[in-house]
């Protein structure tokens, strides 16, 4: 009966529970993982990713192209307070040449330049 319950549980979640278990176990504070906790973590993660994607789609340029782009996601991480903790994981895309210039500038004055113009990056994405 437990196996049947587990199979139906798995269908409610599209993320692989085994992978989520591995990620949870990678935390030193976690010694054992309750099956319900695993399922709920997987479901919450799935809902969070759906929310991030739909929010980014609605508030980004994706609607114009009928697609969700990386730029939409990184813009959400940068602009929306709820998602700002993802800013390091979803950084704005910049050209390698621009990045090298920033590194040179950082060496010179010890501070990465912010407030670079955004329009360039949008054009670069279309070419990629």
Query: What pLDDT sits at residue 3?
Result: 56
Q: Does pLDDT of 111 surpass 80?
A: no
CA distance 81 to 91: 15
Query: What pLDDT sits at residue 117?
Result: 47
Interval 56-81 mean pLDDT:
87
Q: Which of 90, 63, 70 is nearest to 78 (CA)?
A: 90
With beta carbons less than 8 A apart as the criterion, state whether 98 and 73 touch.
Answer: no
Ordered DSSP codes for 2-71: HHHHHHHHHHT--S-HHHHHHHHHTSTT-----HHHHHHHHHHHHHHHHHHHHHHHHHSTHHHHTS--HH
What structural domains does the chain harbor? 17-109 (1.10.20.10)
Q: Does pLDDT of 28 surpass 50?
A: yes
Query: Does the reported pTM lie above 0.85?
Result: no
With beta carbons less than 8 A apart as the criterion, state whether 92 and 74 touch.
Answer: yes
CA distance 10 to 13: 5
CA distance 96 to 104: 12
């Amino acid at each position: 009966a437990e196996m049947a319950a587990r199979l139906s549980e798995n269908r409610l979640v599209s993320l692989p529970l085994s992978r989520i278990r591995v990620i949870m176990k990678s935390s030193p504070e976690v010694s054992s993982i309750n099956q319900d906790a695993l399922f709920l973590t997987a479901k919450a993660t799935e809902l969070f990713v759906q929310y991030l994607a739909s929010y980014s789609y609605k508030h980004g340029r994706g609607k114009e192209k009928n697609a969700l782009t990386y730029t939409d996601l990184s813009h959400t991480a940068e602009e929306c307070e709820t998602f700002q903790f993802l800013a390091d994981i979803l950084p704005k895309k910049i050209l390698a040449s621009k990045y090298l210039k920033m590194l040179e500038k950082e060496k010179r004055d010890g501070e990465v330049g912010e407030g670079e113009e955004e329009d360039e990056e949008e054009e670069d994405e279309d070419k990629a």
